[in-house]
Structure 1
Amino acid sequence: MTPRNASLALPAAGLALCAGLFAAASARALPEDRQQPVNLVADRAELNQNTGVAVYEGNVVVTQGTMRLTGDKVIVYTKNGEFERMESFGKPTTFKQKPAADKEEMFGEALRLDYSATTGVVVATTKAKVTQAKDVFTGDRIEYDVNKDIVRAQGKPNERVQIILQPRPEGGTAPAAPAKPQAGTPAQPKK
């Protein structure tokens, strides 16, 4: 029995499937992330070498470099020793990662996250929300195609998707800071 919140020592096949999972999921992340070790912490784990299914339960936290996934339950599926897909459940299950050195961190949450290594698509369902900087996507289902860098969102029947995109400064640079009064010059009151 694994003590509560103990790091799990995984057999070679378990390490391979976790490494495959995060190498695939971080294909568009910082290059340094792919070189970092995968660390998985859970209250309980069961790895079935015959079926290729690994189930992690209770306060699951998976990290690799800037990537962090949390959930109440994470299921990883492999076939012939190769990672195929992953499901994460929680109230909510969360995901965050810095996609590139020049990009803001991406945050995602939903009651369920699914990732397919075959298609390269991450699907967040039920109360899904994806945030990057101040841009926010909300809907019942949000898909992110890692390979094509495409986001698709949809709501429940009779519900709409909400997308909030903040304006970008011209030239892609940060907005200029307001001018500061010079020493000895009183600041002008706001009108």
Structure 2
Amino acid sequence: MNPKLGHFLKAGLLIGSWTLAMPSLALPEDREQAFQLQADSQTFDQKNGRVTYSGEARLQQGSMVIEADTITVDFATDNSVSKVTALGDPAKFQQRPSRDRGTVYAEGETITYDSDNNTVSLEQEAKLEQDGAVMRGFSIHYDLTRELVRAESDKSESSEQQRIQMTIPPAMVE
């Protein structure tokens, strides 16, 4: 096999493994755990179905942890969660997708889970990391239904730091 093709296949498998981990986003027992929320303050907007947690906000469900300056939870008319938005400098997410995989770490100034569209978005200085592999970009979007990851650079910047960057550890390249 062409060595360059092998490198691309391994990179594709790595990115694919992230996409396979993300639909469940959790160890199986995580889904059975209660949400634990902590913050300095909470505002409940009953009319609009929104709860905002501010000041070192932290949401935990099993191995999933979201830490941000502010976490907002929007509810649908049936009281199910329709969207979770975390804002921080940066907002941070971590979760162990399975027992045989390393913890997924993600960050961005905004992290949004939209259950109506079944998407997860990391915005502004987005970073996704697992098992030493790192993807960086201005934004990273994951469509859970289509299992599609799209990373974008900041179109307003021309510096190389704003371009998409992927780091693959040597063990995954060999």
TM-score when scaled to structure 2?
0.77
Tell me the CA shift for residue 169 of structure 1.
7.9
Matched-pair contact (CA < 8 Å) for 1:28–1:146: no
**Radius of gyration: which is bigger?**
1
Distance 1:117 1:93, change over 3 A: same
Q: Which residue does 2:60 correspond to in 1? A: 63
Tell me which amino acid in the other structure corresponds to 2:117. T
Residue 135 in 1 paired to residue 133 in 2?
yes
Tell me which amino acid in the other structure corresponds to 2:172. R
**Number of positions where the alignment pairs a residue of Structure 1 with one of Structure 2:** 146
Please list every run of at least 4 consecutive aligned residues from structure 1 whose deviation after the TM superposition is greater than 4 angstroms. Answer: none
The answer to which structure has the higher helix fraction is: 2
Q: Which residue does 2:84 correspond to in 1? A: 86
Once the two structures are superposed, what CA deviation does each residue of 1:61-82 show, in whole Å capped at 9, x if it has no partner?
1111110000001111112122
Q: Which residue does 2:73 correspond to in 1? A: 76
TM-score when scaled to structure 1?
0.71
5+ residue gaps, structure 1: 1-24, 171-191
Once the two structures are superposed, what CA deviation does each residue of 1:125-144 show, in whole Å capped at 9, x if it has no partner?
11111100111010100112
Cα separation, 2, equivalents of 1:132 and 1:27: 16
Cα separation, 2, equivalents of 1:33 and 1:61: 16
5+ residue gaps, structure 2: 1-21
Q: Which residue does 2:6 correspond to in 1? A: none
Q: Which residue does 1:48 correspond to in 2? A: 45
- Identity across matched positions, percent: 29
Cα separation, 2, equivalents of 1:152 and 1:26: 15
Matched-pair contact (CA < 8 Å) for 1:26–1:34: no
Say which SS state the counterpart of residue 168 (structure 1) adopts.
Answer: helix
Cα separation, 1, equivalents of 2:124 and 2:25: 25
